[in-house]
Amino acid sequence: MKLDEAITTAIEYEGKVHKTYLEAMEKATDDVGKRVFKTLCDEEKGHLLYLRKRLDEWKKDGKINPENLGTAIPTRDAIAEGVAKLREKVETKQGADYGTELEMLRRALAVEIEASNFYKEMVSKMDGDGQKMFARFVEIEEGHQAIVQAEIDAVSGMGFWFDSREFSLEMG
């Protein structure tokens, strides 16, 4: 696959993920859930803008500048550490119903995994700047998967959203 085709495909994946978070944000009934979905939705919007800029560069010059792509999501390890601290300190909300959020989180996890698998494949097939760019997407998407999985675990296992200073999307 040529780099421009890979970037175009990545834009399609990111668009699908963005749409999933946008819908989740609109459907969520819990304020904390809405904030989590909004943060992830904004991240994906940034990914779309980044990829479109790289595609424009490729079309213009036949090369890309894989400038650093930031993220508001902590690393997978920081998320795991935050979850462990939360489980020690936060009590379960009894009787809470997060059915809509749980459904949306499961959909989000599926599209994040799908996008991440594509990026991993591109890292193995590309070289140079293309490989570097997609490797950064792998790192970020793994963080997204970790945060979504942590939220699924929280909602389905303990009945609360992460709304504590011990764990923050601003960490890391």
What's the alpha-carbon Rg for the chain, to the nearest Å?
Answer: 17
Q: Is residue 167 part of a domain?
A: no
Q: Is residue 89 part of a domain?
A: yes
The model's pTM is 0.78
- Total domains in the fold of the chain: 1
Q: Is residue 13 part of a domain?
A: yes
Strand partners, 164: 167
Q: Is residue 166 part of a domain?
A: no
Q: Which domain holds residue 114?
A: 3-158
CATH number of the structural domain spanning residue 81: 1.20.1260.10
Angle between helix axes 31-61 and 3-27 (nearest 10 degrees) is: 160
Q: Is residue 114 part of a domain?
A: yes
pLDDT tens, residue order, the chain (172 aa): 999 999 999 999 999 999 999 999 998 887 877 888 998 999 999 999 999 999 999 999 999 988 888 776 666 666 556 555 544 444 444 445 557 788 889 999 999 999 999 999 999 999 999 999 999 999 999 888 888 888 887 777 654 444 433 344 444 4
Q: Is residue 170 part of a domain?
A: no
